[in-house]
Amino acid sequence: NAGVTQTPKFQVLKTGQSMTLQCAQDMNHEYMSWYRQDPGMGLRLIHYSVGAGITDQGEVPNGYNVSRSTTEDFPLRLLSAAPSQTSVYFCASSTGQGAYYGYTFGSGTRLTVV
Amino acid sequence: AQSVTQPDIHITVSEGASLELRCNYSYGATPYLFWYVQSPGQGLQLLLKYFSGDTLVQGIKGFEAEFKRSQSSFNLRKPSVHWSDAAEYFCAVGDTGNQFYFGTGTSLTVIP
């Protein structure tokens, strides 16, 4: 049981480039979310999904795009990378009541935009 | 709006000493409360959670936390800290809309 798998683990982008951070879970979880972690700011919610075909914005959605075509996958797209998007990104998933059971987190993607 | 405050940015304790990490929350209803631990370069691991019942909850790795509604607190404790407990600790509150709100974290250093 792999849990939540994120790829890549590390990435360096140039300003203006686009890329997709991959997230896959094999637990048949309905809920999936993307967070970014910055020093002194904890984790902030970027986008989340309550099921295939349904996504919504979180606290800091600007510059990011998501889609949820399957239950298993929830990719995060950076449309035009900016230095302010340098961060560690975490994908998380949960059962139908994630706030009740808690989230399972991936190991993170460390992104640097130069 | 929901929020979580962890007043201590960094704590240093000696190995074998007791530990208490503070967490205060703001939430209108009965909250779902969590503590996560993050080791360097790793993702977040769930330590324990509270959603109802006994206000003292036990978690993994010898940690416990106590929910105090009157103080809006959910402090994490451990009687005797081990060097391997050095990590970042996050308190979080979950609402009925399946949203999580994290504190800014407390970094724990353990002195041998």
pLDDT tens-digit series, residues B28-77: 777 889 999 999 888 899 999 998 888 999 999 999 999 999 999 999 99
Whether B100 has a pLDDT exceeding 90, the answer reads no
Ranges assigned E (strand) in chain B: 3-5, 10-14, 19-21, 24-26, 32-38, 44-50, 56-58, 64-68, 73-78, 87-94, 100-102, 106-111
> Which of A7, A30, A28, A29 minimizes the C-alpha distance to A19?
A7
Task: Give me the pLDDT at residue A9, please.
Answer: 94
pLDDT band of residue B3 (cuts 50, 70, 90) is confident
Considering only CB atoms, A100 lies closest to which of B42, B51, B104, namely: B51
**What does the mean pLDDT of chain B come to?**
91
SS3 B98: coil
Interface of A with B in 21-80 (CB under 8 A): 31, 33, 35, 40-45, 48, 50
Q: Report the distance separating Cα A77 and Cα A65, nearest Å.
A: 5
Task: Give pLDDT < 50 ranges for chain A.
Answer: none
Determine the residue of chain B that is closest to A5 in CA distance.
Answer: B43
Determine the Cα angle at B97 with ends A29 and B1, to 5°.
140
Task: Give me the pLDDT at residue A102, please.
Answer: 79
Task: Give me the pLDDT at residue B41, please.
Answer: 80
Q: Is A89 on the interface with B (CB under 8 A)?
A: no
Considering only CB atoms, B98 lies closest to which of A43, A99, A105, namely: A99
What mean pLDDT comes out for the span B67-96? 93
**Cβ-based burial of A87 (10 A; exposed 0-12, middle 13-18, buried ≥19):** buried
